A and B are shown apart, each in its own frame.
Chain A
Amino acid sequence: MKVVKIDKRNWAGKLEKLKESYRLFGPVKDNEFHIFERLDKGELPDFNYFNTRLSPKSIIYPQSETMLEFSLDKSKENHHILKETDTDCSPRAVIGIRPCDAAAFLLVKRNFDTAEHKDPYWVKAYETTTFVGLACNNPQATCFCTSAGCGPFYEEGLDLLLVDMEDHYFAKIITSKGENLLEAAGWNTGTDADPAGKQIKTMKQEAEAKITSSITTDKLKDKTTTDLFDAPFWEEVAFACINCGTCTYVCPTCWCFDIQDEVNGYSGIRMRNWDSCMFPLFTLHGSGHNPRSTNMQRVRQRFMHKLKYYMDKYDNGIQCVGCGRCIRLCPVNIDIRKVCDLMNSYGD
């Protein structure tokens, strides 16, 4: 393990240098809240934030993404033939992503990047991106990452982890991708790791101790899926839900999409847009039948998918990293922590 000390005085200059070899993305304040955006020349990431309102998943997996293009103009060669869209695949780096959000990409990877199927858009975007994390020294009251498989200093999914030490950052090198980035910026890679490592460890323990919120998932795996599906509490859980797209759109681990063709004049695109299991249209069949026609069925689907089906299918934890966004932003205060506990203790 190597740790590099970055003096904040030359942070801006080195980031500027980094922009020569990477397209940089980072948190910036847009109106009232932070959002991940491309950092233009002279623009710095603003680390004075808890977490962004929307997760950074859109950097790898945009809400609306062009997949293919076509022309309907019969006078053109290759009309009516779908062709690949040119996308910029040059290296990118996300500076200041929170550890939970980086870990979320690993959960999503199990869906988009498997031995049998590779989603070319997601995989290409993911592989060309370097993730520079920012450890959370001050987690929020709604963060429950430590009981959702990661934590405020969690490293998996990151290439580098930055720890804010007031006048400097420590950058902990996690992968060779991370090391390459440090070199490209011209940050010296030879710091004595031991004392820094100790300091980081203490900070990590302090941050973890500040997390007051948690879920219990220990019994979910052994529950019979159909029992949970038929549990009587779903009607009550779902009552307030207005079936909007908020919880799924803000979630770093929700991955569903819908494919659409759009034509303007003679030129068209095939694109995919985020979709949400909370929308009635999500499961509407061509016949008019809808297997999830009620509010309750859709709410149940979201929680069962995240907390039970995902676990059943991959045997690798839940499909949630505990970022707390859905709790903070649900317009009617449906709280995944409460639902998870109901599920975990059901039938005891």
Chain B
Amino acid sequence: MLGYITKIREISERLLKEGKVDMVIGFRKGTVPMMNEPCVVKNPENVKELVWDSNCGINLANYLTDRKEKIGVVAKGCDSRNIVTHLIENKIKRDQLFIIGVPCKGMIDRHKITSMFAKEIKEVVEEENRIIVRGDDYEKIFKKAEVLQENCAICIHRNPVIYDELAADLVEEQKDVDRYEDVRRIEAMPAEKKGNYFDNLLSACIRCYACRNACPLCYCLTCFVDESRPQWVGKSINPTDIRTFHFLRAYHCAGRCTDCGACERACPMGIKVREFTKKLEKDCFELYGWEAGMSLDERPPLDTYRPDDPDFIK
């Protein structure tokens, strides 16, 4: 990872010094294990703050929405696909951006690792492909592949799809991954079981909206759950209202979601919110052969109409 960091700092420093950008958006080291903080660097002297490791799971495209400055942005595979989506949806302009592409090796799952230990985790360090978890009187070593975020374990676009300069050589993409094993499992459930499954999934939700707010797609000025005239959804922790929020949010992301996992990573309650968005991601793939954010030249399937579109309303 050291090579990545050096290169990210070097590019950022050059961009800022040459006045090519007003700011660089990247990550700085966090104050607790398995967390880094998205940050902005405006002064070339401060590029030393920038870091890169397996705790950069927040999607930085989320920090570009409607900005007016010239921006250098650090972008792993999924971030770059959300940048493409932002460009298509006019949330930022291509000539405002200098994309520092980061060929990604996946992010580690902080929820999963935390839940594996009854004792407090004091430190998590990373050595090429190994993750070492330490507490007061223990140490455990994992292969990185064992503790990847679920979306990263099945990611087939780790290399940025759009960039101006790379922070490292491109990585080999994962092949022969079964991306939808979990969705198929839920699809196969009878209706009642499915209902119970979703109710259980959401039973701990506190409606903090961290999932929505961490998502680069959720940029509506007023989200439907926040509308008051008319008020579409109740505001309490009533399970129907909570379910309505999650289902509708997932639909709003259909054909746009890149499965970056920022929502799931952000959730303080460890709720697997991707189970909703992923079903729609799968449908878009199966119905339209569509993967979001892969190209600037094609409109997303749900904002275009073609006479030969499949008839999916049953």
Contacts and interface: CB of A to CB of B under 8 A. Distances in A.
Interface of A: 30-33, 48, 50, 53-54, 63-64, 138, 140-142, 236, 239-240, 242-246, 249-250, 258, 260, 262, 271, 273, 276, 279-281, 327-329, 331-335, 337-338
Q: Which 7 A-B pairs have the closest CB atoms?
A: A331-B266, A64-B236, A245-B208, A244-B210, A242-B213, A329-B268, A240-B38
B248 interface: no
B214 A331 contact: yes
Main secondary structure of the interface of A (DSSP, over half): loop
B58 A271 contact: no
Interface in B193-218: 204, 206-210, 212-214
Interface in B210-232: 210, 212-214, 226, 228
Interface stretch (B82-90, B115-123, B250-258, B299-307): B115-123
Nearest to B210: A244
Q: Is the interface of B mostly helix, strand, loop or mixed?
A: loop
A27 to B, nearest CB: 14
Nearest to A141: B122
Contacts of A240: 37-39, 58, 63
B35 interface: yes
Contacts of A236: 39-40
B270 interface: yes
Contacts of A331: 58, 210, 214, 265-268
A122 B26 CA distance: 44
A8 B62 CA distance: 52
B234 interface: yes
Which of B32, B62, B208, B265 counts the most A-chain CB atoms under 10 A from its CB? Answer: B208
Given A249-B206, A273-B235, A329-B268, A32 B115 contact: yes
B38 A244 contact: no
B214 A242 contact: yes
A138 B120 CA distance: 10
B269 A53 contact: yes
Contacts of A280: 226
Contacts of A328: 32
Contacts of B54: none
Contacts of A63: 206, 236-237
A244 B223 CA distance: 13
B30 interface: yes
B159 interface: no
24 contacts: A32-B111, A33-B115, A50-B120, A64-B237, A138-B120, A140-B120, A141-B120, A239-B39, A239-B40, A239-B63, A240-B37, A242-B210, A242-B214, A244-B210, A245-B206, A245-B209, A249-B206, A280-B226, A332-B37, A332-B38, A333-B32, A334-B37, A335-B32, A337-B31
B206 A54 contact: yes
B210 A246 contact: yes
Contacts of A242: 62, 210, 213-214, 266
Contacts of A138: 120
A142 B208 contact: no
A250 to B, nearest CB: 6
B238 interface: yes
Given A239-B40, A240-B37, A331-B265, A262 B270 contact: no
Contacts of A281: 226, 228
Contacts of A53: 268-269
Contacts of B238: 64
A134 to B, nearest CB: 17
Nearest to A271: B236
A280 B212 CA distance: 14
A48 B117 CA distance: 12
A141 B34 CA distance: 14
Given A141-B122, A239-B39, 4 more contacts: A242-B62, A244-B208, A245-B210, A328-B32
A281 B225 CA distance: 11
A281 B226 CA distance: 7
Interface in B9-64: 30-32, 35-40, 58, 62-63
A246 B115 contact: no
Nearest to A328: B32
A334 B37 CA distance: 7
Given A140-B120, A141-B120, A242-B214, A333 B30 contact: yes
A207 to B, nearest CB: 14
B204 A31 contact: yes
A142 B58 contact: no
Contact of B32 (A64, A142, A244, A249): A142
Nearest to B262: A331
Contacts of B266: 242, 244, 331-332
A71 B268 CA distance: 38
A141 B123 CA distance: 10
Nearest to A213: B31
B236 A262 contact: yes
Nearest to A269: B236
A244 B115 CA distance: 23
A244 B213 contact: yes
Contacts of B118: 48
B60 to A, nearest CB: 10
